[in-house]
Amino acid sequence: MKTKTFILSIMVICLLGGMSLMAQDTVTVNVTIRGHLTFVLDGTDAGGSVVAGDYTTAETCDFGTSDAAGGAITGGDALVTGLTGIPADAAGLDLGAGGVYDPNCVGSFYSFFNTVGTPDRFNHDDTALGIYIRSSRISTYSLDVSAAVVGDATVTVGQLKWKDNATTGGSGYTDYTDFATSSTNITSGGAGALHLNLFHDYGLLVEFADATGSYTWTVTYTLTTT
């Protein structure tokens, strides 16, 4: 009797060991990806690294005190203090040796800066302004700029000028673009992930016809994406 029971138990174990079990289920994963936009500026103030957080959405460039004769700048940001101006005529040409004694001299042009530099997102000490833009995928984009000047009406918006740092400027301001009250396009394009790192040189024409005093330019950069 005991022997039969033992044999039966073995048979049951063998049958269970040969069974095949299969289970199936599914997992649904939902995710919503939101858009991302970084748009920051950095001027001539201390620090020039986007990594260090020097860039902001509202920057100040302090160009200190200058004069129509092109004397050295005093009291401005460390990056521009000590720079001298170039006597120029109404067409923006450097008057050379004649300087302020040339009857065609309208004033002096201060460059911040002129020559092509080697700026990057960590350091733009050889440019006046760094612009950093990073965005999720878009269809189109447009970067535009406009400006306004506060002070005596003898000074115009266009006396503040700019150029791309990648462009070598001549002596004077013939290679610079005047800022304007109307919106002017800097760059545009589409479609895809947006990544721009732009560097601009500024320049200021100080004229003998300008009334003395303090002046402030508000320069507005506008990024439009679709």
Helix (H, G, I), strand (E, B) or coil at 105: coil
What mean pLDDT is reported for the chain? 86
- Provide the phi-psi class of 70: left if phi over 0, else alpha when psi is between -120 and 50, else beta: left
Q: Under a CB-based contact definition with an 8 Å cutoff, are residues 193 and 143 in contact? A: no
Question: Could you give the CA distance from residue 177 to residue 145 in angstroms, rounded to a whole number?
Answer: 12
Nearest to 48 by CA among 207, 197, 210, 218: 197
Can you give 34-93 as a three-state secondary structure string? CCCEEEEEECCCCCCCCCCCCCECCCCCCCCECCCCCCCCECCCCCCCCCCCEEECCCCE
Rounded CA-CA distance 198/167 in Å is 12
Contact by Cβ (8 Å): 175, 92? no
Q: What is the pLDDT of residues 132-144, one digit of tens each?
A: 899 999 999 999 9
Q: How far apart are CA 135 and CA 193, in angstroms?
A: 6
Say what the pLDDT of residue 119 is: 67
Whether the per-residue pLDDT at 17 is higher than 80: the answer is: no
Annotated domain spans of the chain:
35-221
Answer whether 0.85 is exceeded by the pTM.
Answer: no
Name the DSSP class of 140: E
Terminal C-alpha separation, the chain: 87
Buried b (16+ CB within 10 A) or exposed e, 194-215: bebebbbbbbbbbbeebeeeeb
Q: Note the pLDDT of residue 18.
A: 59
- For residue 21, what pLDDT is reported? 80
Mean pLDDT on 207-220: 96
Q: Is the pLDDT of residue 222 over 50?
A: yes
pLDDT of residue 127: 81
Q: In the predicted model, is pLDDT for residue 194 greater than 90?
A: yes
Token pair in block for residue 86: 């170039």
Cis geometry, peptide bond prior to residue 113 (ω within 30 degrees of 0): yes
For 39, the token pair is: 């748009």
Statement: residue 125 has pLDDT above 80: no
Lowest pLDDT segment from 103-107, 109-113, 212-216:
109-113
